[in-house]
Structure formats: C-alpha cells, structure tokens
Amino acid sequence: MLSYAHGACEQPLLGETIGHNLERTAARVPDAEALVCPHQSVRYTYAEFDDAVTRLAGAMLTAGLRKGDRVGVWGPNRFEWALTQYATAKLGVILVNINPAYRASELEYALGQSGCRWIAAAPELKATSFVDLVAEVRPRLPELERAVFFETADWEELTSGRAGAASAGEVRARMEELDFDEPINIQYTSGTTGFPKGATLTHHNVLNNGYFIAELLGYSERDRICIPVPLYHCFGMVIGNLAATTHGACMVYPAETFDPEATLSACAHERCTSLYGVPTMFIAELGHERFGDYDLGSLRTGIMAGSPCPVEVMKRVSADMGIDEIGIAFGMTETSPVTTQVRRDDTLENRCGTVGQVMPHVEIKIADPESGRTVPRGQPGEFLARGYPVMSGYWNDPERTAEAIDRQRWMHTGDLATMDEQGYVRVVGRIKDMVIRGGENVYPREIEEFLYTHPAIADVQVIGVPDERYGEELMAWIVLRPGASVTDEELRAFCRETIAHFKVPRYVKFVDSFPMTVTGKVQKFKMREAAIAELQLFDAAAIPTA
C-alpha cells in the first residue's frame, strides 16, 4: 500500500470571498463577541466588528486603494491588525504580512519586493520605533505612498468614518467584483539562506483552511479562542482569525507578544475554550510559577503547531491543563497552512504521536526525495501536498515557485515523514536536518522524543555537527527543568540503555533557551554555527562532501 491519502469529504468547499463570509457570520450571530483584546480594553460583537471593518474599507477605497494593490501590515497582536486584515479582504487589496522582528533592510525588502502602496503599522514595539524605521526606508521605496500608524489622528480618521469614506453600499459593490481565486495575502517565509519568499495566498486558500480547521475542532459561536501566536503568521491570521470568523467564535488576543502569564490570565478570565501555541509557549505556561493560580477549566481543545511537538509536552498539556482535545496541525505557509490535523476524538496515542490525518479536500503523499516515486506505507520520504491550500506561487518569483511546486501541482515541503496503514502521518525531520553518521541515516526528531522522557529535561534539540571520522556526529542542546540536574555522561548512559549506539549524542550542551524565530521555530542552522565555533570543528566543517 502506497503512502497516499485523499481527504474525501461530502461537505463542500466554501466558494466565496473572506468579506462575504464575514458578513454572513455577522448576520447570523450579530451579538456574539467577535474580538477581545484585554491589553487594549477592546471588545467587539460581530455586528460591531463588521461595521468597523467596513468603515476602514470605505476609507481605503476613498483614499484610492483598489483591487490588487498591496498594503503592508506591521505590528504585534492588536485589534487594528484584524481590522486591516478584513478591510483589505473586502476590497481585494492584497495584505502583506510583515514580521514585527524585521529591521530596516528586511522591511525594505518586503515592501519593495511586493510593491506596497501603503503600510499600516504600530508606532513602536519593545522600544523599537516603527515610525523611525519606516522613515528610514521610505526614500528608497518610490511605490510606497502612505504610512498610517495605529493610535494616531491619521488612523482615527480612517476608522471613524468621518473622512468622507465610501459607504457600505460602495464597499459591497467592490466586493461583488471579486473572485475567490484572486490573491489576498502575501506572507514572507523566513528561509535560512537567500532572501525571503513571498507566498501568495488567495481567498479560497486561507478561508477554506480556516473553515475546515474549525470544523475539525468543533467550533461554534460558543467558543472563545486564545491566540497568543503572532497574527503576521498563518497560525494567527488563518488558524486563529479565520477559523473563528467562519464559525462565529471569539478571537482573544492576550497580549501584543507572547507572555505566558497574560495567556493564562486571558484563558481564565475570558473563559477561553481553545488555546493555541507552539511547543515552547506551552512549556513556558506549564512551567510558570503562577500556573496553579489560574482556573483553566473552560479549556477543551487547542492546537500545538509551528514546530515539532514533543509527545511528553502534549501529554502534560492534556493532563495538567485539562485540554483533553488538544491536537496538532501540520503544514507550512505555502499550504495556507494546514494539510494534516489530529481529530479531537483521536486516541491519546495518535494525538500525541502523530500530526494526524489528511485534511478534508486535500491530497498528501510521501515520496522518495531522489526518484520522486511514492514510497510504501511506513517508509520515510518527503511529505508532499496538493489541492485547494497550495499557494498560487511566490510573488514575482517564477523560478523559486517552479522549484517548490511541480508540474502535477504537488507542493514539495522539505519535511521527512512516514504514513501508517490508517493514514496517520509522523514527521521524522527535515531533509536538510537529517544527520548521516558513518553511513547511518539518523533523524534528530527520534532522539529528541527519546530524551524528552528523561525526568530532568524540559526541552531538547538535536543537531548534526561536522566530524572528520564519521562525517557528522550528534549534539544535544538541553534545557533542564527548574531545580533538576544531570551530567552529560549520565544522559549518554541513559541513551545507551535504550537506543542504538550511533544515535547516542557525542556532545551535550546545557542552555537556557534556543535561537528561535518570533514564531517559535528553532533555528538549527544557528545552533550548528555556534557549535562549530565552540567545539573548534572548523577543519571537519571544511572537508568537502559529494
């Protein structure tokens, strides 16, 4: 049996735009809460939220923005971000998500490569002035006509409806001109080499992905989703916002950027039923000194995603947080993002040990990276996806688009995975992360999962480092639990009792944290660079390989 699965589904895909879908939800549950930002003291019902979105869209229309124009949004998790997301969608203006961690050169690249006419941004974040950075790059961006900053008179004029904004009827007329297959969003992927690529997503891509994620989680207007993950990323704006608005659920932004106590507080005081996060977020919440002070009894479900999810962490979220229906969603920005998801009624084994089964209306397969042939079930290979979630391409980059999407429209993810007889997918690593030690293929994820079972270990990452004899050796970076202690030799002895000798890490490094992106993805290439320098492995690193 080959590693191929199709998410056959009787429930049809949504054939509408984001704006039309929001208006349908607002008409169905006008008095249900749509958005709550405790840190901004802001609350909207669906009727209020849709009205605010339409006012902003009307002001943008009056100011000259038209379908296909690009508007950058740059800021942390604030209500203004959500208004901008949905207002641009109503006009067919393409929203360009900009990472709040960007500095001048990265900001200039994103705005210039996408050709943004406007940027809507927070004035500052963590002592970094976005106003100053925009002013620095603007002279080199002739297409950038306007910068609007939240909390200013300019923003207030746009959102108040007092700026001679086009009417709701005029906005609706523009909505009627849109097609759901048109691009609505550009998200820059943070690669480890070269310039970021602008994954271009349509209404159809992200609206349906949000909708079916919510269907599998059983969302309704009674659900309240705590969203501490960043909105600029698909996790926030699709799995968070669009999953909520397609079902009338409430979006709750606990803080501008991730704060474990603010997240726990929001879950307790807003009676959230669902909690999102990358593994490091859940680890921080579980380990917070005031964890026991917050009543999390309202939580029933949630999603852990964004990077490999350790089995032991999943078990603790279920046992200690009481989230019995916690699951994993797996995918990438280029697939809107989710292609497999754990079902909420899955067994604990499947919820903790796999990334679930294929999403409705999606095709997936596992293929040999060299030959491209679909491998038998149980055999590792590259994870490929096809169907409605696959992006239209990288913005103005046909060459890299062709490298990622083949002629049969399969998206090549670079992830190594297996598929079992029931169609459950297990991710075993990245093609580039796989370690080849003396001819043996070693998957760091396997070693990480084993090390998580050690009682002293809170978090762990395993990488390959150069070695003159074996080509590569294993190195484990370890974060210990508070108050715990263990030596590197004790850890190696723990490994030798259970796993093959070639899987035992030669090097062990104890750290407080890992180098990560703002979305919580561990940057293993930076760990490798640091290890080479620290261990003086320059000669081994310089050895050419075939």
DSSP notation for 267-310: HHHTT-SEEEE-HHHHHHHHT-TTGGGS--TT--EEEE-SS---
* pLDDT tens-place string over residues 428-455: 877 878 787 876 778 788 889 889 999 9
Looking at the chain, the domain(s) classified CATH 3.30.300.30 span: 433-541
Question: Span 97-106, mean pLDDT?
Answer: 89
Distance in angstroms (rounded) separating the CA atoms of residues 244 and 211: 8
* pLDDT tens-place string over residues 273-291: 999 998 889 989 999 999 9
What is the CATH class of 433-541?
alpha beta
DSSP β-ladder status, 301-304 and 325-331? parallel
DSSP 2: B
The average confidence (pLDDT) of the chain is 93
Amino acid 445: pLDDT: 84
- Please state, as a whole number, how many other Cβ atoms lie within 10 Å of the Cβ of residue 533: 11
Distance in angstroms (rounded) separating the CA atoms of residues 496 and 509: 18
Q: What is the model's pTM?
A: 0.86
The domain defined by 17-31+41-179 folds into Rossmann fold (3.40.50)
Looking at the chain, the domain(s) classified CATH 3.40.50.980 span: 17-31+41-179
- Residue 35 near residue 248 (C-beta atoms within 8 A): no
* pLDDT tens-place string over residues 168-213: 999 999 999 999 999 999 999 864 445 789 999 999 999 999 999 9
Share of the chain above pLDDT 90, in %: 78
Does residue 8 come out as left (phi exceeding 0), alpha (psi in the -120 to 50 range) or beta? beta
Q: DSSP characters for 171-190? A: HHHHHTT--TTSEEEEEEE-
* pLDDT tens-place string over residues 227-255: 999 999 999 999 999 999 999 999 999 99
- Residue 227 near residue 262 (C-beta atoms within 8 A): no
Strand boundaries in 75-175, DSSP class E: 94-98, 118-121, 124-125, 128-129, 146-149
Number of residues in the chain: 546
The packing angle between helices 488-496 and 444-451, to 10°, is: 110
Distance in angstroms (rounded) separating the CA atoms of residues 261 and 226: 13
Look at 284-298, 348-362, 377-391 and tell me which has the smallest mean pLDDT. 348-362
Does the pLDDT of residue 470 top 90, yes or no? Answer: no
Verify cis geometry, omega within 30 degrees of 0, for the bond prior to 466. Answer: no
Strand boundaries in 468-539, DSSP class E: 471-480, 507-510
Does the pLDDT of residue 546 top 80, yes or no? Answer: no
Residue spans of alpha helices (H) in 421-514: 444-451, 488-496
